[in-house]
């Protein structure tokens, strides 16, 4: 855990972000997160939400998807294995979420590299996600500025997607999060960089997908506190950085790390996030 100051401000002194109260609120309220996610990561995603303190519900069939989105605290739409029935359920869920005021998160897995999900992801953008979380190649492709990565793996560095992420945020109204060695998050006006974390997350199936789910949970907690979506998304990335570092401290293999990561999600306290380092700056174009 870093002992550095939680916030280094630059630019024209933008508002700082303290993620500790957001995690505390999640632990108090256990937000219900509806996950329409891919078949490869369902179990790990549900366990990550439970470990963090949220309540997962994996409702991804038509009729029920819309019903659930109306009473859920947040919705995750993950395009990892978008079969036709699930795509119909996703459209139903995001429509209902929009009507009910439920925040939802888009994880555009494999967008750009594969045609069906790329077209579908762009259709989903019209339903105004609260946040979009992906790797650099996925964000570039979703913004129309790149061709995607190698399947679900990034072929671009985080900084290469910075301008596209900011443009996508301004276009959609969503917070856009680009995952990498140093995560980059932007609402189109501010940009936040979250360092840290362990590369072992990239060797566990569902590491990134679970981040989409905890982003949804912490966005719900931030909204419950009257805070911006950006605060919730930053809290999720800080939580994953802290937990992955703790899990990697004993130099485990990927299997042991995966279990340790779940344990560390549960063990991380709100104060641990308040003391982690991040950099908040205003975007030049937003001034």
CA-CA distance, 269 to 277, in Å (whole number)? 15
For position 14, what pLDDT does the model report? 66
Report the C-alpha gap between 83 and 70 in whole angstroms.
Answer: 23
Asked whether residue 122 is domain-assigned, the answer is: yes
pLDDT at 7: 47
Query: Domain range spanning residue 202?
Result: 7-283
| pLDDT given at position 21 | 98
- According to the model, what pLDDT value does residue 282 have? 84
**Looking at residue 147, what is its pLDDT?**
54
State the pLDDT at residue 286. 46
Arithmetic mean of pLDDT over the chain: 91
- CATH number for position 62: 3.40.1190.20
| pLDDT grade for 8, boundaries at 50, 70 and 90 | very low
Residue 100 lies in a domain: yes
The DSSP secondary-structure symbol of 242 reads H
Name the pairing type of β-strands 190-194 and 278-282: antiparallel
pLDDT tens column, 34-77:
999 999 999 999 999 999 999 999 999 999 999 999 999 999 99
Q: Is 176 helix (H, G, I), strand (E, B) or coil?
A: strand
Q: What is the DSSP letter of 282?
A: E
HSE-up (13 A, CA, CB side) for residue 265: 28
Rounded Cα gap, residues 235 and 229, in angstroms = 10
Is residue 126 domain-resident? Answer: yes
Residue 93, in any domain of the structure:
yes
Q: What is the pLDDT of residues 271-285, one digit of tens each?
A: 999 999 888 888 765
43 assigned to some structural domain = yes
Q: What is the pLDDT of residues 118-139, one digit of tens each?
A: 999 999 999 999 999 999 999 9
Q: Is the predicted pLDDT of residue 254 greater than 50, yes or no?
A: yes
Domain annotation covers residue 2:
no
Q: Which two tokens stand for residue 127?
A: 């339903």
Closest CA to 183 of 247, 130, 125, 134: 134
Q: Taking residues 18-26, what's their average pLDDT?
A: 97
Provide the number of structural domains found in the chain.
Answer: 1
d(C-alpha 103, C-alpha 86), whole Å: 19
Burial class of residue 67, CB neighbours in 10 A (0-12, 13-18, 19+): middle
């Amino acid at each position: 855990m870093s002992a550095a100051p939680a916030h280094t401000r630059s630019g024209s002194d933008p508002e700082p972000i303290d993620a500790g109260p957001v995690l505390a609120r999640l632990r108090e309220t256990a937000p219900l997160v509806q996950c329409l996610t891919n078949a490869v990561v369902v179990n790990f995603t549900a366990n990550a939400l439970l470990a963090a303190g949220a309540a997962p519900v994996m409702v991804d069939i038509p009729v029920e998807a819309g019903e659930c989105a109306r009473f859920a605290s947040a919705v995750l739409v993950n395009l990892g294995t978008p079969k036709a029935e699930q795509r119909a359920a996703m459209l139903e869920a995001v429509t209902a979420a929009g009507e009910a005021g439920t925040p939802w998160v888009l994880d555009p897995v494999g967008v750009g590299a594969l045609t069906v999900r790329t077209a579908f992801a762009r259709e989903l953008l019209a339903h105004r996600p609260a946040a979009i979380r992906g790797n650099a190649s996925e964000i570039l492709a979703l913004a129309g500025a790149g061709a995607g990565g190698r399947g679900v793996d990034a072929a671009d560095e985080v900084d290469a997607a910075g301008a596209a992420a900011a443009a996508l945020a301004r276009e959609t109204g969503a917070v856009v999060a680009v995952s990498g060695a140093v995560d980059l998050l932007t609402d189109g006006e501010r940009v936040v960089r979250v360092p840290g974390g362990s590369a072992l997350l990239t060797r566990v199936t569902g590491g990134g997908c679970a981040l989409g789910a905890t982003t949804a949970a912490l966005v719900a907690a931030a909204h419950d506190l009257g805070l911006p979506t950006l605060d919730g998304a930053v809290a999720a990335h800080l939580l994953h950085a802290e937990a992955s570092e703790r899990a990697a401290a004993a130099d485990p293999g990927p299997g042991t790390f995966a279990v340790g990561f779940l344990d560390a999600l549960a063990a991380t306290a709100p104060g641990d996030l308040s003391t982690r380092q991040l950099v908040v700056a205003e975007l030049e174009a937003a001034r």
